[in-house]
Amino acid sequence: MKTDDLRHERLRTWIAEMAGLCEPAEIRLCDGSPAEYDELCGRLVASGTFRPLSQARKPHSFYANSDPGDVARVEDRTFICSKRREDAGPTNNWAEPSEMKRILRGLFAGSMRGRTMYVIPYSMGPIGGALSKIGVEISDSAYVVVNMHIMARVGIQVLEALGPEGDFVPCLHSVGKPLAPGQADVPWPCDKDRKYIVHFPEERAIWSYGSGYGGNALLGKKCFALRIASAMARDQGWLAEHMLILGITNPEGRKKYIAAAFPSACGKTNLAMLIPTIPGWKVETVGDDITWMRFGQDGQLRAINPEAGFFGVAPGTSESSNPNAMASLNRDSIFTNCAVTPENDIWWEGIGSPAPPWTIDWQGKLYDASSGKPGAHPNARFTAPAKACPAIDPEWENPDGVPISAILFGGRRATVVPLVHEAFSWPHGVFMGSIVASETTAAAAGTLGRLRRDPFAMLPFCGYNMGDYFGHWLEVGARPGAWLPKFFYVNWFRKGSDGSFLWPGYGENSRILKWVFERCDATGTEGAERTPIGFLPSRKALELEGLDLSESMLDTLLSVDREAWKAELPSIAEYYASFGERMPKGLSAELDALRERLEG
């Protein structure tokens, strides 16, 4: 099919307009077929962007090095261009929409000369599902196309679901490196010094220029599925969240689904693919990064994972930390900015074994462990199909979603926050989500223990004013007749006086999930104790057999230090004040109630 044959007039007109602006050498409508994927991977190998990995070790898999100036999301170059500055809020970079369009049109003019313009129709969520949405990405990067093949549902079937008049989110992307006649390309084209990742929430449109990397270029991911979708969700009465979804089944065969939001470096993917250590319990993965939730006709909050793949951070992933993730990327995967061994396999720090001699690092140089320089970039990534995960849930592609019984929040806190506590109510749970914070490390931020607030783990991803976002959560919970999940806050990272972690984490976190599971059906203080910050588990309610935890360790993990919590109240109040009149009074009331309980 050619773009001129498209039945959707608005889509056909938009493609023609963007082609006139970007001036590509040719236009290709992507059909999403395996043949297309293989052909484009072959082109990427020929251009030097891809290197095939060992067929014996990683069949049908490829490795890429990015430009050193294009290795991660660029939050300082990410913009929310709402019509009014106050609608973007204090946590987003804002620019006036017409002025930003003027800048972007200047950058995109002729940006695809000498390149192919790929038109990528894609569905976030199962094609045709009630919770699913359609986007169309225009890109001049074959790397983007093949990654989108893994991360979304791509191709002609999406166009059929769109029909002649369906809604779609237009997404324009260019690496910003036009080619003159006869000019040789580079393996990783980008305009590393001029990047713009721009969202127009009222228009429901995305423009991304200059980067070929991950969340900057795979526009179905953070750009659509969170920033634009969060604005859509606000207007349409649903939730688009930076959350994992897992299913947990007890020994009697009863199953519940849990969503969870964690800032970076807090173990989100590990929890999504957890293997329980307690006998008879099973955890299955629905999604590891993004969740869309909407109330069903029965009043139950139901959720889908809108993605079709995992775009995970590679360093630290190993057979001990996440065997299910390792199994997911054994074939049909793409690796970016990892190291490559002499056997043509991938390697990264924390993979569980030393780098073999003659390993090549992510910048194409011989890796020397003694140099102190990493073999893999700290943000090195794998792109792997979700269906390859051995723990994938049977319902992960249910177009109606899975019923959510609990929502977890978590952060990296060495002190103050106990191992787990449960909210008293929906508004109290929203309060807990709004104060999510992690303590920085000295290496990362220069000040050990400094708190970085990341409410609902959405700080970089909320497409509108976060004060309004909190208000939307409160409104969702006020829906008449709704069956509301319970809220919990977990902290796997509590430390003792010697600086060591008190809780073993990883598979042992299943012990906390067991308590959460049981509390979903409990009333009052059954299996719990009421404290000023919420319900904490009673010692008898936690499955602790086999753990090497002393009484003093348990006291620290399961206690509420009133003075430490009192000391934190001013920083919460200051954070709330930053949202001015947009801060919901309901959450300010929750803060006042916490203050009173701590004084009581």
Residue 159 Cα to chain centre, angstroms: 26
% of the chain residues with pLDDT over 90 = 92
| DSSP state at residue 481 | T
pLDDT score, position 47: 96
**Mean pLDDT of the residues in the chain:** 95
pLDDT score, position 5: 77
pLDDT, one tens digit per residue, over 47-80 is 999 999 999 999 999 999 999 999 988 989 999 9
pLDDT score, position 442: 36
pLDDT score, position 244: 98
pLDDT of 448 above 60 = no
pLDDT, one tens digit per residue, over 359-417 is 999 999 999 999 999 999 999 999 999 999 999 999 999 999 999 999 999 999 999 99
Burial class (CB in 10 A: 0-12, 13-18, 19+), 28: middle
pLDDT, one tens digit per residue, over 508-548 is 999 999 999 999 999 889 999 999 999 999 999 999 999 99
pLDDT score, position 449: 58
pTM over 0.85: yes
Q: What is the mean pLDDT of residues 266-270?
A: 88
The single residue of 190, 266, 389, 462 carrying the catalytic annotation is 266
Burial class (CB in 10 A: 0-12, 13-18, 19+), 101: middle
Residue 543 Cα to chain centre, angstroms: 30
Instruction: Reduce the DSSP state of residue 248 to 3 states and report it.
Output: strand
pLDDT, one tens digit per residue, over 97-109 is 999 999 999 999 9
Q: What is the mean pLDDT of residues 215-235?
A: 97
Backbone angle region of 457, left / alpha / beta, with phi > 0 → left and psi within -120 to 50 → alpha: left
pLDDT score, position 523: 85
pLDDT score, position 441: 45
490 pairs with which residues across the strands?
410, 420
CA-nearest of 396, 361, 363, 466 to 245 is 396
**HEC readout, 406-451:** EEEEECCCCCCCCCEEECCCHHHHHHHHHCCEEECCHHHHCCCCCE
Element spanning 253, H or E: none
pLDDT score, position 443: 35
Instruction: Tell me, yes or no, if 520 is annotated catalytic.
Output: no
State the pLDDT confidence band at 444, using cuts at 50, 70 and 90.
very low
Domains of the chain: 3-236 (3.40.449.10), 241-308+394-599 (3.90.228.20), 314-362 (2.170.8.10)
